[in-house]
Amino acid sequence: MYDVIVIGGGPSGLMAAIAAAEKGAKTMLIEKGKKLGKKLAISGGGRCNVTNRLPEDEVIKHIPGNGRFLYSAFSVFNNYDIISFFEELGVELKEEDHGRMFPVSNSAKTVVNALINKLEELNVNMQLETEVGAIHFAIDEPHQVILKNKQTYTTKSVVIAVGGKAVPHTGSTGDGYAWAKKAGHTITELYPTEVALTSKETFIQNKSLQGLSLRDVALSVLNKRGKPIITHKMDMLFTHFGVSGPAVLRCSQFVVKELMKGRDQIEMHLDVIPQKKEHVLLDETFKAIKDHPKRSIKTILKGLVPERLLEYLLQINDIAPEQNGANISNESIRSIIADMKNFTFAVEGSLPLEKAFVTGGGVSIKEIIPNTMQSKLMEGLFFCGEILDIHGYTGGYNITSALVTGRLAGSNAAD
């Protein structure tokens, strides 16, 4: 019999198994894939974005899906503890933009191998290519973890760390939700987050802007009354089906949640030049036209926005690019500048959950003890990582949540 069985070898499960074994618990880690940490290894563009160095409050703010639930967990083990943890394992880390932390080696292998070495050092029994099919929960008796091949292990505590449903080829196929339900847990509605959005706008359908990326724009999701629900200042990209890129991914969960309320389409507002007020841009444009009356409007406005976007904005305003600025009405100039500051477009949906970076929804946090990750409904049952109804932006926030909740689940399961 085991003291602790951890199911799932992602960041949350790896950390849970280490934490349990460090407390002296006889621990087994079960992973259905051939490798441990498959999704962790592809995070942060394949370089393994292990955590984020921003202050704790900021990290929590970047976990809009129930991040505040993590306050008590963070008081035990937080993002700075993750950094120390990896440094103690001999993994040197470096900080990049927006506080993102990566291994100095730029190789995910360094991180995954360090975790595996630690598990070996702690004599954790690691079972790869071993798929759990069911859990038999027992009261006042050990739980039974039943493999797909019907082999059964008994354990005092079980930690479910099987992730969500996003990118299932990494192994996260949502197996844990049924087990959680069997133990009496509520699974809040699952939905894609950190996901590209689809649009039926003509400029998307006729691919006018396909492949165009915009830097440091301000993108907002608008509510029914046209007021912004959220704004993100980052890069974005027009694709053949809609929009993507960092600003879109961050806005996506707000779009998906609005669509879940029954709205058919959601308006998005794009300010391509957020660093300048509209009246300043207008004054500068009118002055440039006055100073250079023979210059084409395209030359006058060049540099304000990427050339392809400028040509598109001139086209929708019925202005030929070679037309002299001085020959264009003030009204048309105002309209072009307004389009740069207030470009609105509708999105109707997102790519499916399988193509999202992160799963929204999951095991309800109301039924989990926040400073232990133990189930409030079943003795000896713990949850950690993306299976919980917690989701953050990409940038190390989900992995931070997985490692922090994993730490707590593992050490308390051992207790």
Chain contacts with ligand FAD (rule: CB under 6 A): 7-13, 30-33, 38-40, 42-44, 49, 131-132, 161-163, 166-167, 170-173, 175, 357-358, 385-386, 394-399, 402
What minimum distance in Å lies between the beta carbon of 94 and ligand FAD?
A: 15
When the beta carbons of 222 and 358 are compared against ligand FAD, the nearer one is: 358
- Using CA atoms, how far apart are residues 57 and 61, in angstroms rounded to an integer? 6
Per the DSSP assignment, residues forming a β-bridge with 152 are 146
What minimum distance in Å lies between the beta carbon of 194 and ligand FAD?
A: 7
When the beta carbons of 300 and 402 are compared against ligand FAD, the nearer one is: 402
What minimum distance in Å lies between the beta carbon of 100 and ligand FAD?
A: 7
When the beta carbons of 51 and 199 are compared against ligand FAD, the nearer one is: 51
When the beta carbons of 12 and 285 are compared against ligand FAD, the nearer one is: 12
Contact 33, 382 (CB under 8 A): no
When the beta carbons of 40 and 197 are compared against ligand FAD, the nearer one is: 40
What minimum distance in Å lies between the beta carbon of 135 and ligand FAD?
A: 10
Phi then psi dihedrals of residue 158, to 5 deg: -125, 135
Q: Token pair of 411, please?
A: 């050490």
When the beta carbons of 46 and 90 are compared against ligand FAD, the nearer one is: 46
When the beta carbons of 104 and 326 are compared against ligand FAD, the nearer one is: 104
Contact 65, 253 (CB under 8 A): yes
- The one-letter code for the residue type at 161 is A
- Using CA atoms, how far apart are residues 123 and 22, in angstroms rounded to an integer? 10
Query: DSSP characters for 352-382?
Result: -GGGSSEEE--B-GGGB-TTT-BBSSSTTEE
When the beta carbons of 282 and 387 are compared against ligand FAD, the nearer one is: 387
Using alpha carbons, select from 8, 12, 6, 9 the residue that is nearest to residue 401.
12
Contact 190, 52 (CB under 8 A): no
What minimum distance in Å lies between the beta carbon of 125 and ligand FAD?
A: 14
Cα dihedral value 117, 165, 245, 11, nearest 10: -20
What minimum distance in Å lies between the beta carbon of 46 and ligand FAD?
A: 8
Contact 75, 87 (CB under 8 A): no
How many Cα neighbours within 13 Å face the side chain of 353? 15
- Using CA atoms, how far apart are residues 135 and 144, in angstroms rounded to an integer? 6
- Using CA atoms, how far apart are residues 44 and 348, in angstroms rounded to an integer? 28
Q: Token pair of 66, please?
A: 């129930």
What minimum distance in Å lies between the beta carbon of 212 and ligand FAD?
A: 23
Q: Cβ atoms within 10 A of the Cβ of 285, count?
A: 21
What minimum distance in Å lies between the beta carbon of 56 and ligand FAD?
A: 16
When the beta carbons of 17 and 314 are compared against ligand FAD, the nearer one is: 17
What minimum distance in Å lies between the beta carbon of 415 and ligand FAD?
A: 21
